[in-house]
Amino acid sequence: MSISIALWLLAIVGLSSLVLFLGVRWIQKEWHKAAIITSLIIVLFFSYGDVFDFAEGIKIGQKTAQDFLVVYLLAIIVLVIVAGLLARKAKDCSKVSIILFVMSFFLVASSSLSIVACKIMSRLATPKEPTARSEIKIEANSERLPNIFYIVLDGYARQDILESVYGFDNSDFINKLKDNGFYVGDASHSNYAQTPFSFASTLNLGYLDEFSGLNTTNRDLLLPYLSDNKLFSFLVEAGYHKVVLPSGYEYTEALSSKQSIFVNNYRNEFINQIVKMTPVNYVYDSLAKHSRFVEERKRDAAYDDHRDRINYSFNKLGETKHYESPYFVMAHIVSPHPPFIFTPDGRMKDIKTGFTFGDGTHITQGSPDKVAEYKEDYIDQIQYINSRVLKAIDSIIAHAGGSNRSIVIVLQSDHGPGSELHWGGAERTNVRERMSILNAYYFSDKDYQQLYNTITPVNSFRVILNKYFGANYSLLEDSSYFSGWGTPFDFVDVTDKLK
């Protein structure tokens, strides 16, 4: 996020407050009373988010206090009573107006400036001590450590699956990767069938055996494994600057919460943070429930935001001049995974359904017509993603290196697509479609001796750490585990079915 955008927004908030004050002054005809009323309105407006969040923990029958408009009314009453008590003790309204003005100023200023401060500090921060113990000894000259790009294209199918299941020839894209010097593992599979598990496994260089068999649907148990993963700790300890581009997906957004040296943020984040402080979201959501027009505008905004975030991340991948070497850049592009928003040339599709990251039977319901529509839309989208990937790769290779700095690019998917995915279980799913993935690597020296055709993501960074950091990781057996949506930790070994 640009700091200039933040300052512009703060200026707009200040100007709006001034206009409000002058309007109330015109009605009240008295400066001090106008200041009191304006200050109360500002305090209520910008404290609403905190009040609303607090109300979430208050149970009223089967609902929470959030479900009742009286929450905001109670907040108004409390502040009015406080103001009244202050006024009774004060000799004149000027003291009350000054107190409330100071309260409103510090509320807005502290909340807004804290958001700006986070962005500034993320640029100025120095590497923190890793929370996970490093298991490697860095033997390479730090000045010669590679700049690393980890690009995950969510749900990107392997070439043979695209041809056999989707009837699409993706050889042109694969050949262009190879022409650029990539090694492509054209018999590679994912280790897990769902995104959070794939990332947690890959970034911790191992399988998630400790979670196997848990009788819960709470995927948040993986969050500590994501935010405090081994790979990031290793790289930060080695002096890397970590860049995590925005995904819009909560489990990979968690990757930017710790050890971030410079985190590129999507351009609307600051606006969203400001809006969350106010009742705007609540009013908007309430109107959407009762107005088809508002509901459609909300839906369109979600799709627009998703589209812009994807394009933003692709654009930022090539802007390496802003990063201080050595750096690790991660981009989780939630595409060609649904929602299917792009035409082959990148234009926005006209979508009439609500925004969702759902996949498989969550959107096809097993209907042959919807499965066919899924495949058609998927092919449209993957063609646009291909064009953006190739452009980003060209820019990275041209600009990310240096006289003493090599480049590593890992371009892979977390799992395959889901046109024939049934969340009820592996026996009803085309597991070859779901588990077969794009898995490509670029090393500046083109030395791919440690890579092999069937490599899976759990071994990706084991190879890289061995090659560039003098680590001595043994490679794990390449296995693949499927789990249903309602039983996410019930890992079913489907490795043999993929051969």
Contact 264, 316 (CB under 8 A): yes
Distance between CA 298 and CA 288 in Å, rounded?
7
Question: Beta 439-443 vs 407-412: how paired, if at all?
Answer: antiparallel
Running DSSP on this structure, what letter comes out for residue 436?
B
Decide if 436 contacts 161 (C-beta within 8 A): yes
The pLDDT assigned to 105 comes to 55
For residues 413 and 382, what is the distance between their CA atoms, to the nearest angstrom? Answer: 12
Residue with tokens 């479609």: 433
- Number of C-beta neighbours around residue 283 at 10 A: 12
Cα angle vertex 187, ends 466, 429, to 5°? Answer: 120
C-alpha closest to that of 96 among 110, 107, 84, 108: 84
Tell me which residues of the chain have a pLDDT lower than 50. Answer: 1-4, 65-66, 68-69, 87-88, 113, 115-134, 140, 258-269
Q: How far is CA 292 from the centre of its chain?
A: 29
pLDDT given for residue 85 in this prediction: 55
b/e per residue 93-126 (b: at least 16 CB within 10 A):
beebbebbbebbeebbeebbeebbeebeebeeee
- Partners of residue 37 on adjacent β-strands: none
Closest to 1 in 3D by CA, of 112, 151, 100, 92: 112
Residue 8 is predicted with a pLDDT of 59
Q: Report the alpha-carbon angle 335-340-345, nearest 5.
A: 85
Q: Pick left, alpha or beta for residue 212 (phi over 0 → left; psi -120 to 50 → alpha; otherwise beta).
A: beta
For residue 483, what pLDDT is reported?
A: 97
Alpha carbons 75 and 268: distance in angstroms, whole number: 29
Q: Which domains does the chain have, with CATH numbers?
A: 3-123 (no CATH), 130-498 (3.40.720.10)
Q: Enter the tokens of residue 369.
A: 């017509």
* Helix segments in 56-167, DSSP class H: 70-89, 93-124, 159-164
Secondary structure element (H or E) that encloses residue 190, with its range: none
Which 3 state secondary structure label does DSSP give 402?
strand
The Cα–Cα gap between 88 and 96 comes to: 9
Cβ 49 vs Cβ 110: under 8 Å: no
Contact 35, 21 (CB under 8 A): yes
Measured CA to CA in angstroms, residue 357 lies from 195, 287, 331, 418 at distances of: 11, 23, 17, 12
Backbone φ, ψ for residue 392 (5° rounding):
-65, -40
SS3 category, 59: strand
- In terms of Cβ atoms closer than 10 Å to its own Cβ (0-12, 13-18, 19+), residue 465 is buried
pLDDT at 273: 56
Identify the helix (H) or strand (E) that includes residue 447: none
Digit-coded pLDDT (tens) for 245-289: 988 888 888 776 544 433 444 444 455 556 666 666 666 666 666
Q: What is the pLDDT of residue 279?
A: 65
Residue in the block written with tokens 């009040």 = 51
Instruction: Classify residue 242 as exposed, middle or buried by CB count within 10 Å of its CB (0-12, 13-18, 19+).
Output: buried
User: Which pairing describes strands 439-443 and 183-184: parallel, antiparallel, or unpaired?
Assistant: antiparallel
Alpha helices (H) along 204-291 = 223-227, 230-237, 250-253, 269-276, 280-290
